[in-house]
Amino acid sequence: MTQIPPFASDASAAFARYIAAFNAGDFETACSYYADDIRLTIGNGRVLCGRGEIVRFYTGVRQVTRRTIKVLDCFASNVMLAAELESEFLAVTDVPDFTSGPLRQGDRMYINSFAFYDIDQGRFSRIRAAVFHRIWKRCPDPA
């Protein structure tokens, strides 16, 4: 667990490292960016409370999709970071109950989202995302 608050200096660089950890499924590093009382609201309005619930949720997501988050833009103050993100989800199996709608194996979904990250003592205390745009690219049916 990182001891120095990750956002103590360069927020953009720290954010890039956080996203890289998230993309790699390195939840131990990702969680080091969270305050103890972290609350994360995902695009459909569901609220995840605490590191444990966040890790459980995204571990589940990683079991059925390969997710890659790209940072399109981010800028920060001492207390808040705003980001524009593009996430690609590639379904590695059929996911009829996926949070954004059913996916079949091979389907891809792109989400363009805007997110606010509240920063408290150098760590994220609240993360909130809103979906601006969703694009599905369906895997063609086998001939």
Q: Which residues bind another protein (CB under 8 A)?
A: 41, 43-47, 73, 75-77, 80-82, 84, 113-116, 128, 130-132
User: Which residue, 63, 56, 58, 57, is CA-closest to 92?
Assistant: 63
Closest distance of CB 137 from another protein, Å? 21
Q: Which is nearer to another protein, 27 or 116 (CB)?
A: 116
Closest distance of CB 89 from another protein, Å? 18
> Which one-letter DSSP state was computed for residue 96?
T
Contacts 24+ apart (CB under 8 A), 49-58: 54/27, 55/27, 55/31, 58/22, 58/27
Q: Which is nearer to another protein, 39 or 123 (CB)?
A: 39
Closest distance of CB 72 from another protein, Å? 10
40 within 8 A of 85, measured Cβ to Cβ: no
Q: Which is nearer to another protein, 8 or 130 (CB)?
A: 130
Closest distance of CB 134 from another protein, Å? 11
User: Which residue, 46, 48, 118, 133, is CA-closest to 85?
Assistant: 133
Q: Which is nearer to another protein, 64 or 111 (CB)?
A: 111
User: Which residue, 27, 15, 121, is CA-closest to 76?
Assistant: 15
